[in-house]
Chain A
Amino acid sequence: MRFFKNVFSKLHVFVLWALMSVIFWGWIFTFVTDTTPDKKISVYFYVPEIRDTELAVELEKDMPPGLKMIKVHNFQYVMFNMESVENGDVFVLPESQIEEYRELLTPGDAGTLIYDAETRTGGADSYAGYEDEDYYLFIGANSVHRADGAAEKIAGDILKAD
Chain B
Amino acid sequence: MTGEIVELYSDGEMSGMKKKIRVWTVALCLLGAAALGACIAMAAMTGTGNAERMELYAVATATVSGWIVLYCAYFVVGTCRRELLHAAMLRAEERTRVEGIVTVTKAKLAIRKSITARRVEVRSPEGLTRMLVTENRAAKLMNAGAVAVYSAHGYVAAYEVRS
Contacts and interface: CB of A to CB of B under 8 A. Distances in A.
A25 B48 contact: no
A137 B46 CA distance: 29
B48 A53 contact: yes
A60 interface: yes
B interface, size bucket? 20 to 34
A24 B46 CA distance: 16
B66 A17 contact: yes
Contact of A22 (B46, B47, B59, B70): B59
Interface in B51-82: 51-52, 54-55, 58-59, 62-63, 66-67, 70-71, 74-75
Given A13-B70, A14-B71, A57-B47, 15 more contacts: A6-B114, A10-B70, A14-B67, A17-B63, A21-B59, A25-B55, A26-B55, A28-B58, A29-B51, A32-B43, A32-B51, A33-B48, A53-B49, A53-B51, A69-B48
A18 B48 CA distance: 25
A25 B58 contact: yes
Q: Which among A18, A54, A70 has the greatest number of chain B C-beta atoms within 10 A?
A: A18
A128 interface: no
A14 B70 contact: yes
B156 interface: no
Chain A to chain B: the 8 pairs with minimum beta-carbon distance, closest first: A21-B62, A57-B49, A29-B55, A21-B63, A33-B51, A17-B66, A25-B58, A56-B48
Q: Which among A21, A53, A57 has the greatest number of chain B C-beta atoms within 10 A?
A: A21
Given A32-B43, A33-B51, A53-B52, A25 B71 contact: no
Contacts of B114: 6
Interface of B: 39, 43, 46-49, 51-52, 54-55, 58-59, 62-63, 66-67, 70-71, 74-75, 114
Nearest to B114: A6
Interface residues of A, number: 23
A29 B39 CA distance: 11
B74 A26 contact: no
B100 to A, nearest CB: 34
B45 to A, nearest CB: 10
Nearest to B39: A25
A117 interface: no
Contacts of A24: 62
B57 to A, nearest CB: 10
Nearest to B44: A32
Contacts of B75: 6
16 contacts: A10-B70, A13-B70, A14-B67, A14-B70, A18-B66, A21-B59, A21-B63, A21-B66, A28-B43, A29-B58, A33-B48, A53-B48, A54-B49, A56-B49, A57-B48, A57-B49
